[in-house]
Amino acid sequence: MNQFPHGWGRPRDDVYGAYDASYLNSTEPVTHTQRPIVTGTSVLGVKFKDGVIIAADNIASYGSLARYDNVERLLQVGTHTVIGAGGDISDMQYLHLLLDNLLIREQYPADDHHLYAPQVHTYLSRVLYQRRNKFDPLWNSILTAGADPKTSEPFLSYVDLRGTTFSAPALATGFGAHLAVPILRRYVPDDAAAEALTQEDAEKLVEECMKVLWYRDARSGVTYSWAVIKKDGVETGNKKIENQSWKFAEMIKGYGAQNI
Amino acid sequence: MFRNNYDNDSVTFSPQGRIFQVEYALEAIKQGSAAVGLRSKTHVALVALKRNAEELGSYQKKIIPIDKHLGVALAGLSPDARVLSNFMRQQSMASRLLYKRPVPVARVVNAIADKAQVNTQHYGKRPYGVGLLIAGVDETGPHLWEFQPSGQILEYFGAAIGARSQSARTYLERYFESFPDVSRDELVVHGLKALRDTLQQDRELTTDNTSIAIIGIDEDWKQYDGPKVKRFLDLLGEDGTRSQRAARMDTAVDVGGEGEDDDELAALLGPQEGTSAMDTTE
């Protein structure tokens, strides 16, 4: 008889042998995501007069290798929202799964209540912040773009792997935050400027920024997806960067075989 | 020994297809004092009659706020209503945290209906002994729901639960067609008039025993108790005194529901509606 309380209710060691707890302790420590593996680069978003435009290229890089060139990084969520994700592609795909399931659940009551961009953005921020508090973050930075179907009010907001959120009339993630935002802000410094911006100008602006990124961001791609969200819904498409000029490259020295 | 073998638990049907424990729970609602709810295009109002167990005691709360856009009035066991309203508050907070969205009224009502239904299908559980009127405003406008311990929920233009609530329902049935376009205060006055009809002959609506709550599309939940009720009781005017009411009730009995203020609705409803006063309680 084992007199120690910790042995009560357990198989007796003298009959069954000591409990083999080895499988409980794996030889490796528990690990969490510590770096992204297959990554997407920038996402751009700009508010304009009666909507938002969002764009992201189709490259998924494995380190510096452009491993896949046909990855869709924009996802339409419901009728008036599009999210664009940079960072780890598999984490992005997991978020797409979460959002798909969320949307299906939201349809069940069929009660005329829908999730729009502000709700989707808040949901994403909660998920990302919860994961960062588990020290197992989803390694993404995400733009949520949408328009209110009643008021036509555009919505554009950012959330990243730490759960940090902020909002601005023009936003970009990743390298775009360094290369595209200064250009975007020249045209859309504040909400008033966004309200004055036409859709055509907004599209041109995004096109220009995607071109700058194609020139200067070595993880970017030549094809990209775009989406325009307005009162009546979402319009999407694909584009290729045209009228390229690499003349400036002739000036660059110090790389590769060159006779100085 | 037992008069009825089919009312010992809430999982056994009687041969007539009834579940007595659930029906007893519905009786518990009728033991509680009355609560009335009604809706216009822009507002929902709840009015309720509070009871005190004894002269020196306080009055039992009848209206519970859930959120800025949502609240309930109860009739029946108030501890059960606390459990349900606490649950609704949790749902409401969860919705605000996760989606930054005030919880849609129909969703939270469905959630308590599911909770109540479970209690009618598991051995050892008992149905909630409380009925609720849930008033709320969301994206789809103002809403008034009735909740019953059976797990049944229904949406209403006007509804009344609790003791002698049939009289209030009769009032609402007469006037509800005018509700959509009435003002906020007129809606409350209609509610008070309906509530007044549930009173016993020697009772009156006072600032002590009347609770009022109102929400609108552009107006957060507001609740009026005690002295703040006076403004609305004053709107009832002379018509609100005991003798006036007695006179009105007498004429109502005599001529089958033609009170002095019934002129326009007599035209509105036509002749056959006067009989609704004789409808039996369900």
More confident residue, B251 or B266: B251
Catalytic (active site) residue A27: no
- The reported pTM is 0.85
Per-residue pLDDT, averaged over B109-125, amounts to: 97
Report CB contact under 8 Å: B106, A123: no
Nearest to A160 by CA among A147, A178, A172: A172
Distance CA B18, CA A190 (A): 66
Distance CA B36, CA B88 (A): 20
CB distance B211 to B168 below 8 Å: no
Helix (H, G, I), strand (E, B) or coil at B114: helix
B20-258 classified as CATH 3.60.20.10: yes
Give how far B254 is from chain A: nearest CA, Å.
46
pLDDT in tens, A28-40: 777 888 899 999 9
Whether this model's ipTM surpasses 0.90 comes out as: no
Which residues in chain B touch residue A155, judged by CB atoms under 8 angstroms apart? none
Q: Has residue B267 got a pLDDT over 80?
A: no
> Hey, what CATH topology would domain A38-239 get?
Glutamine Phosphoribosylpyrophosphate, subunit 1, domain 1 (3.60.20)
User: Could you tell me the residue ranges of all domains in chain B?
Assistant: 20-258
Report CB contact under 8 Å: B104, A123: no
Which residues in chain A touch residue B111, judged by CB atoms under 8 angstroms apart? none
Closest-CA residue of chain A to B103: A113
Closest-CA residue of chain A to B99: A119
Provide the pLDDT confidence category of residue B263 given band limits of 50, 70 and 90: very low
pLDDT in tens, A238-257: 999 999 998 877 777 777 66
Report CB contact under 8 Å: B97, A115: no
- Torsion (CA) B21, B26, B32, B38 in degrees, nearest 10: 160
Which of A31, A33, A79, A122 is flagged as catalytic?
A: A33
pLDDT in tens, B126-147: 999 999 999 999 999 999 999 9
